[in-house]
Amino acid sequence: MVRVRDNRDKVAFAALFTHFAPRIKGYLIKSGADATTAEECAQDVMTTLWRKAEQFDPTRASVATWIFTIARNRRIDMLRRDRRPEPEDLPWGPEPEPEQIHVLEMQQEAARLAQAVATLPPNQRSLIEQAYFGDLTQAQIAKETGLPLGTIKSRLRLALDRLRHAMK
């Protein structure tokens, strides 16, 4: 990703595309898009990544996380045509030369988190997925699943606690 950002390297871009475009498409289909729309939007997301590469900061987010945020914004636009307000940059701004150690830490944390998400118990995992992919609020998930809102909240909390624990 850094090679895409700093050198506008298309070979590196193709490698990112091969890894992430099928994942973005899968995410969009789970969110309710048909295959054609998901294909188009996945291409849009990868084009946006190329265009906004300058904003990628490896000390703040892994590549997967950054791509997730672009895909999520594209999905909001696709499903609801809403604008998506974003917070402004911090007053002190990003560091000009990110320290390699912080980049490494972020990569390790992302790997641990991915591992923790992969090993969640199925009922917690499916709720987290619905919360992220379903375009539903917690109250709407309660309605949809027939589970009481309290149960949804406590299962989500359990799942998040597990993830937090894994990050320590």
Partner 1 sequence: MTQPDITSPSGTAIRHHLNEATLMGYAAGTLPEAFNLIVATHLSLCDRCRADVQAYDAVGGALLEDESAALADESLAQTLARLDADPKPAGRKKTATGDFPAPLQDYVGGDLDAVRWRPLGMGVKQAILPTSKAATARLFLIPAGAAMPDHGHNGTEMTLVLKGAFLDGNDYFARGDIEIADIDVQHIPIADVHEDCICLAVTDAPLRFTGILPSILQKFFRI
DSSP assignment string, 9-70: -HHHHHHHHHHHHHHHHHHHHHTT--HHHHHHHHHHHHHHHHHTGGG--TTT--HHHHHHHH
CB of 75 to partner 1, least distance (A): 6
CB atoms inside a 10 Å sphere around CB 163: 16
CB of 163 to partner 1, least distance (A): 7
Q: Which is nearer to partner 1, 83 or 101 (by Cβ)?
A: 83
Q: Which is nearer to partner 1, 18 or 165 (by Cβ)?
A: 18
Instruction: List Cα–Cα distances, 87 to 14, 48, 65, 91, 142, in angstroms.
Output: 30, 19, 17, 12, 30
Residue at token pair 């709407």: 140
Token pair, residue 146, equals 């027939």
CB of 146 to partner 1, least distance (A): 19
Q: Which is nearer to partner 1, 90 or 101 (by Cβ)?
A: 90
CB of 101 to partner 1, least distance (A): 18
